[in-house]
Copies of this chain bind each other. A is one copy, B any other.
Amino acid sequence: MTELHDKRGDRAEPAGSLAQRVADRMLTNDTATRSLGMHIVSVGPGRAELTMRIRPDMLNGHGTCHGGFIFALADSAFAFACNTHNYITVAAGCSIDYVRPALAGDLLTATAEERALAGRSGVYDIHVVNERGETVALFRGRSHRKQGHVVPE
């Protein structure tokens, strides 16, 4: 169990659940998610909730958070959610609509939910809000399931 799970709240799965074991394994190697300061609040079958605080080094030339970092948070939530079934699953394509800017110091929360799963393809919606509950961005990801499992079944 890593410190990244400290914030798991009431909705968290039991520590030994499949979704949680997959998330733990993924995080072990996921340097990107950790180096961006993301925390996993909870994971469950087909869903994940992550937080990230906007750092000064994440600002763009307009003084707001570079879209790439908002995208990265949503993308990580998407990745954790779509792998919870323990099939190795990758992103095929994603789209993001920006609703309002994020500023330095903002704590963003991304909530990923499975909207459809058919064959090897899935669709996930990720909602990114700031600590005032205002929508920052809406992200949609299409996943593609590959061969193999993330952790032993």
Contact = CB atoms under 8 A, between A and B. Distances in A.
Contacts of A91: 67, 98
A83 B115 CA distance: 26
How many A residues are at the interface, by size bracket? 35 or more
A116 to B, nearest CB: 4
A73 to B, nearest CB: 8
B121 A135 contact: no
A140 B28 contact: no
Given A29-B61, A93-B97, A76 B71 contact: no
Given A75-B68, A123-B138, A94 B92 contact: no
A56 interface: yes
Secondary structure of the A side of the interface? mixed
A12 interface: no
B76 A68 contact: yes
Nearest to A59: B31
Interface in A24-38: 25-33, 35-36
15 contacts: A26-B60, A29-B63, A32-B57, A32-B65, A32-B69, A33-B61, A60-B76, A61-B79, A66-B72, A66-B76, A68-B73, A93-B97, A93-B98, A95-B96, A123-B138
Given A29-B62, A66-B75, A115-B135, 11 more contacts: A26-B60, A32-B69, A62-B90, A68-B71, A90-B98, A91-B98, A92-B98, A97-B116, A97-B140, A125-B125, A140-B140
